[in-house]
Chains A and B, each alone.
Chain A
Amino acid sequence: MRNFIHILFAALLITGLGFLAFITVPVQRTEPQTALADDWRPEEGQGEYAMRLADCAACHTAPDGELFAGNRPIESPLGTIYSSNITPDEATGIGGWSLDDFRAALYDGVRPDGTHLYPAMPYENYRKLTEEDIRALYHYFMEELEPVENRTLQSDLSFPFDQRWGLRAWKWVALGDPGFVADTDDPVLARGEYLVEGPGHCGACHTPRNNLMAEAALETPDEAFLSGGEIDGWTAPPLRGPDSAIRGWSAQDMAAILATGRNAHAAINGEMQLVVRDSTQFMNDEDLQALAAYLVNLNDGSTAPDRAEETETEALLVSADPDMPLGPRLYLDNCNACHFADGRGADEVFPELDGSSLVTAQSPTGLISMILTGSELPSTAERPSSLRMPGFGDRLSDEEVAELASFVRSAWNNGAQPVTPAQVAELRGDAEAKRD
């Protein structure tokens, strides 16, 4: 969510070209992609469900704030952007917006007055929403929600990033065609594809950014789509291709992690926790199965990575040899209790560290953050217990965390680069700054 600041850099690049014309010529709004009767009404609950699929709550609700009243700060080195109040309040929200106004925000990233929205709002992906979903969302936000008066704080970006008109040029390059076209005849796979490309905006995090910091691909046939991205230093792992984090997972594994945040291999962390907490856990069975089928199909033909069952690491840990190096010793003293000597944890309780995409990610940010501050799995309807991994920041020095992380990254069948104490010190500093 925070990465988009780079997008602004890109926008600046283009504005540098100095086309003043597009500041003044009005923006064309995208038309509805299907014609629905004027008196079309969503079924009971359809609007709320569409809101869940699109995860509007994650961004538009401030921590401890009222639902959809906005002002969730999105920090960046250049300033803070605040999400908007999208309750139907006339003065401070989107009360009084027409359906066309609402559609234009989701498809084209513009406000009724033509102001461009920052792409922190994922309209690159929402452009694929069906007219039914747009109408259902509109009904939900306009008629099912109570207005909340809460003025959206002024985003305080420094010049020239505060010049929103620059985004117009960026959109010419970044936005794909509106509307959704399935890449398959299979209705189940097509539904999964829609959920991923459109409302689920999975690509906003799991697709790499190109040099304009736009999503490098927006659709399934392009192999760059879902081939791995980065968000706030955390790696959103590839969901396809040779390095896919979910290679060899069954449809059941896929459905389990989306519905409960945990499965036999992994547990979700960082931003992905918000996705499960606010969105995917609410999917109905049919959609969950469609999404799972899509992800399995995306990894079709690939098998789980080869993993030696017996490893030197396990033998060393089991030996409990007092002369072992510091890394494995720290693992035994701090981590072994839950993740075990074989690094395989326990199904749906303690995730595997052997082969974990978070452990072996190129950037060690996620792993170091996990060790310093721990994490808590969100409680879901199906798995209410919010399992907690404690933080070890108070037990371990920067040098120790680096030794431990380096060990875990190369233990069992893992083979990732070591971590330095300086990398740990930096993240510890960040975490303290965020807390103060």
Chain B
Amino acid sequence: MTPKFLQSSRRGFLGGTAAAAALTTLAVPARAQVEVVPLDRYQPDYLTAGEWAFVMAACARIIPSDGDGPGAIEARVPVFIDRQLAGDFGAAADLYMEGPFNPGSDAYLGTQTPLTPARIYRDGIAAVDQWCTDNLGSPLAELEPEDQDTVLRALSSGDLNLGDELREFWALLVQNTKEGYFADPRYGGNHGMQSWIYIGFPGARANYLEWIGRNEAYPLGPVDIAGERA
């Protein structure tokens, strides 16, 4: 079950965009393709080296690279997650974080943990890696893909018993992976608009009225919020 109010809010996104647009309208356009740091040399803003390895490994299993389209790694989803955790989302800036907390209450009552998303990742990763080391001999990132799948499956069904406060860790990880895969590239993921190309989404162009119902592919590639074409 997706913890609804942990989702990065769409209104916040849009509001942020408008504000950013207002502030940057006059900035000299940064059109020259910014060189992207390869993932193995990326310096995370929030995650430690070990946590980064965990997120890389988990994302690679959630949207693997050997399927039809791009995987989470090609889309640089881990960068998206790291940047979200380093910012307001990670700090739960938009959430009500005063008590009382009752993390053990019925899941239908929504998220009741006192932990921020950044903290859930930190403690959740530590707990899962501890479990892997105790039971399989090494942290998640160093396991074989099949073993990683087994662990993640167990995590998803609650079998790892991370405790009530970390109950949402799995849901959060999956949700943020999807977001990083499909969000606008300005947030670090969806590199090169690869996921949009894959599903045929025209991006921030937002109007292709005349093509609706034509039952043929729209010929133009997507555009992102920064105006780049792919």
* B26 A320 Cβ-Cβ under 8 A: no
Question: Contact string, B188-230, partner A, CB cutoff 8 A, digits 1/0?
Answer: 0000000000000000011111110000001111010011010
Per a CB cutoff under 8 Å, which of A338, A340, A395 touches B29? A395
**Contact A393 to B220, CB < 8 A, known contacts A336-B205, A340-B207:** no
Residues of chain A whose beta carbon lies under 8 Å from any beta carbon of chain B: 318, 320-322, 332-334, 336-338, 340-341, 372-374, 388, 390-397, 428, 431-432, 435
How far does the alpha carbon of A237 sit from the alpha carbon of B214 in the complex, in Å? 42
Using Cβ atoms and an 8 Å threshold, which residues of chain A touch B107?
A: none
How far does the alpha carbon of A334 sit from the alpha carbon of B21 in the complex, in Å? 14
Per a CB cutoff under 8 Å, which of B25, B26, B205 touches A332? B205
* A-B CB pair tally, cutoff 8 Å: 68
- Which residue of chain A has its CB nearest to the CB of B205? A333
Q: How far is the CB of A375 from chain B (nearest CB, A)?
A: 11
Using Cβ atoms and an 8 Å threshold, which residues of chain B touch A334?
A: 223, 227
Per a CB cutoff under 8 Å, which of B18, B29, B218, B219 touches A396? B29
**Contact A397 to B207, CB < 8 A, known contacts A320-B220, A322-B220, A391-B21:** no
Interface centre among A320, A332, A340, A394 (most CB of B within 10 A): A394
How far does the alpha carbon of A388 sit from the alpha carbon of B14 in the complex, in Å? 14
Count B-side interface residues using an 8 Å CB cutoff.
25
Residues of chain B whose beta carbon lies under 8 Å from any beta carbon of chain A: 18, 21, 24-31, 205-211, 218-221, 223, 226-227, 229
Q: How far is the CB of B31 from chain A (nearest CB, A)?
A: 5
Using Cβ atoms and an 8 Å threshold, which residues of chain B touch A321?
A: 219
Using Cβ atoms and an 8 Å threshold, which residues of chain A touch B227?
A: 333-334, 392, 395-396
What are 27 A-B contacts defined by CB distance under 8 Å?
Answer: A318-B210, A320-B208, A320-B219, A321-B219, A332-B205, A333-B227, A333-B229, A336-B205, A337-B205, A337-B207, A340-B209, A341-B209, A372-B25, A373-B25, A373-B26, A374-B25, A390-B25, A391-B21, A391-B26, A392-B25, A393-B26, A393-B27, A394-B24, A394-B28, A394-B226, A395-B29, A395-B227
How far does the alpha carbon of A322 sit from the alpha carbon of B223 in the complex, in Å? 13
* B25 A333 Cβ-Cβ under 8 A: no
Q: How far is the CB of B205 from chain A (nearest CB, A)?
A: 6
* B27 A394 Cβ-Cβ under 8 A: yes
* B31 A397 Cβ-Cβ under 8 A: yes
